Amino acid sequence: MSIKDAKSVGKAYMAVTCVFAKNLASMFSLHLKAPRWTTALGFITRPVTRPQEYYALKEDSAPEFLEPYRQPECYGMMEKEAWNSMNETTKEGLKQARQKFPVLAVWQMFFFSCEVEDALKDMEKLADMDAFRSTTFLTVAPGCYPANIGLPQSPDAISTPWIASILPLLSKPLNPGHAGPSRLSTPSAGPRNLLRRSIRLSTKTAAKPKRAKKVMTVDVVDSTSPSNTNSKKKWPNVTIPGKTTMADATGVLATSILQHAWARAVERDSSFIVFHCGNFERIAFRHRSSQTLFISELIDVTGCKDPRYGELHLTLFVAIIEDVLDRTRQLVQSETDAKPRNSSRKRKREEPLPSEGYKRPKTRARLALEAAHAVEHQEKLAVVAKAIAERPLAVLRIHDRHFNSPVPASLLRVDRQAPTDDFVFEPREYFHLTIKSKLGAGATGDVHSATLEFQASTGETVLFSEAVVKLAFDSEQRGRMRNEFEVYEHLNSSGVTGIPTIFGLFKDVESDALALVMNNVGTSIWMRRPDKDCAGLAVSESERTAFAKIMESVHAAGVRHRDIRPDNLVISNDGIASIIDFDRAIINASEGSRKREFEHLVQLLGGESFTIEFGLPSFGTPRYSPI
């Protein structure tokens, strides 16, 4: 097997060490009485890393419990012999563990190189430091603290042997008010001691987040609304780093690797992390309650003795299984304890979902009210768009599940040159852009729901909660995003309606990443289809007419979309139709190609069958279409 990148390193590991280690661990831990060698543990590959030609890091593969055996058999299911040899307690524990922990650990595969090998060796130096200094953005934004998300704390294993060995190291009181990483602790050394060093990574900050404030929302962006003292908070100046500051800020690869791995482990709620580059390796264990990462000594893969490398990974897989089952039992018990006692009162009959059964037709008064709301929403949207258009800086934060930015990123409009020296922006020159959740991912980049927050000219804080951010990282994605922005600008100048309102295209001052910010125009007709198991669409006659009018307007501006599919046809809660995703569009398209595209739209909305191969070259259907 030729090793050309991190993907190849991962394949080599999976083909040799992983196969026997996971199978033996599964046999010893779960189904020792099985009549033949089999496994309940898989090492599954699920896309996490963006597709690349050559990978420096690949983290798509990790251990998972296979699906319990049943008829009919399918791929990804454990074999009958393994399942039937388990007792009922083990079977129930596996079912619960699969539900609560879909992915059991983090495996980071690196291409073997001097840089990565040095980084793995440098982890020893980081462990000898008094504090782990995490890498953050260089933006200075006073008062821009991480959100107090308040996620439930996942438990650590309590009955596993390695927990007993590290508890004495965690008995010392923490330094109150310590910002970020805390002190280090060193387990007793020994030839078979896997967890030798520790690095504490803390998600706490020294500054306590301020109490949530009341603000105006642009679902009610109304300058005549009664103001209050909470809506007139103080907006400080924001300083973004210049090229000189960024050049002086030298990053350490080992720090970045550890920080990224910790974040991935938090996302998956995993305890074990493996750093593997072919020749060398480190294994890490994450202790949640103390926010400590224990890392092993450097493992020489080919020269590993006492224990040998295969024995080490057999023990590792056994430890992962025991850890997950232990934590699953704790979670199940806590859920059982939290359930209310049975009540003697009769349960109320469940109301049918709005989509079920008969729907009352809308009255003329209801239709008129919805139309008035739609007009009001458009007026408010115009107010926000005007205010945002005057601001060159977006201060980007992420408050999504476990992701919580300690320091924001600075994004400048693409038509503005990045400063050489640090530059200060006043409140009227920037707005806060906060990512809340991921909506999807495509060829152009990742799509997230977001909020916009800024200080109005009256001094009041305005919050717009219906924003969307598309992020592009690699060169191909950035090229498509720039094209999409140019097409939107052209359509807007041509007076085309039925497309998103674009707040701007921004570039991260510390990287090449781009962010396209717009309003959320609704749900795609693909996502709202009645039966999610089939491709049948539910589109009313009025919606067909609305989409046709938008397409006629787009074509009149000389633009061909080249990606017309149900995912890109959306309807808002107010019933307003829009067409989105113009990253493949071209301006000054031929009349014949625009005519064929219109016929394609009519056929699609008319309910004619379509598949992933439906699009012709003239339509430009993308290679990776969800339908």
Percent of the chain with pLDDT over 90: 54
Using CB atoms within 10 Å of the CB of residue 334, give its burial: 0 to 12 exposed, 13 to 18 middle, 19+ buried: exposed
Which residues 6+ apart lie within 8 Å of 209 measured at CB?
Answer: 145, 146, 147, 148
Res. 183 pLDDT band, cuts 50 70 90: very low
- Specify the pLDDT at position 217: 40
Res. 361 pLDDT band, cuts 50 70 90: low
SS3 category, 221: coil
- Specify the pLDDT at position 250: 64
* Pairwise pLDDT comparison (142 vs 299), residue with the higher score: 299
DSSP bridge partners of 273? 106, 284
CB 275 within 8 A of CB 261: yes
Which residues 6+ apart lie within 8 Å of 452 measured at CB?
Answer: 218, 384, 388, 431, 432, 433, 463, 464, 467, 503, 517
Phi-psi region of 495 (alpha: psi -120 to 50; beta: other; left: phi over 0): left
Q: Which residues are annotated as a binding site for ATP?
A: 470
Where would I find the beta strands (DSSP E) of 546-622? Answer: 559-560, 569-571, 577-579, 586-587
CB 97 within 8 A of CB 89: no
Backbone φ, ψ for residue 507 (5° rounding): -125, 135
SS3 category, 24: helix
CB 217 within 8 A of CB 197: no
Res. 170 pLDDT band, cuts 50 70 90: low
CB 488 within 8 A of CB 499: yes
Residue that is written with structure tokens 């921004």 in the block: 506
- Specify the pLDDT at position 400: 87
Among 71-85, 359-373, 556-570, the least confident range: 359-373
Q: How many CB atoms lie within 10 A of CB 562?
A: 20
Q: Out of 2.60.40.10, 1.10.10.60, 1.10.510.10, 2.130.10.10, which CATH number does the structure's domain 523-605 have? A: 1.10.510.10
CB 255 within 8 A of CB 127: no
- Specify the pLDDT at position 131: 72
pLDDT for 115-124, tens place per residue?
999 999 999 8
Domain residue ranges of the chain, discontinuous segments joined by +: 6-137+152-211+251-333, 372-519, 523-605
Q: According to the CATH classification, is domain 372-519 in 3.30.200.20?
A: yes
SS3 category, 471: strand
* C-alpha torsion sign, points 42, 46, 49, 54: positive
Token pair in block for residue 268: 């998956």
Q: Which amino acid is at 477?
A: Q
Which residues 6+ apart lie within 8 Å of 480 measured at CB?
Answer: 443, 444, 472, 583, 584
Estimate to the nearest angstrom the gap between the alpha carbon of 246 and the chain centroid.
26
Please state the rounded mean pLDDT for residues 343-353: 51
pLDDT for 385-434, tens place per residue?
999 999 999 999 998 888 888 899 999 999 998 888 899 999 999 999 99
Using CB atoms within 10 Å of the CB of residue 332, give its burial: 0 to 12 exposed, 13 to 18 middle, 19+ buried: middle
Q: Which residues are annotated as a binding site?
A: 470
Q: Which amino acid is at 434?
A: T
572-608 burial code (b ≥16 CB/10 A, e <16)? beebbbbbbbbbbbbeebeeebbeebbebbeebbeee
* Pairwise pLDDT comparison (3 vs 19), residue with the higher score: 19
Token pair in block for residue 262: 């910790």
How many alpha carbons lie under 13 Å from residue 267 in its C-beta half-sphere?
Answer: 12
CB 563 within 8 A of CB 622: yes
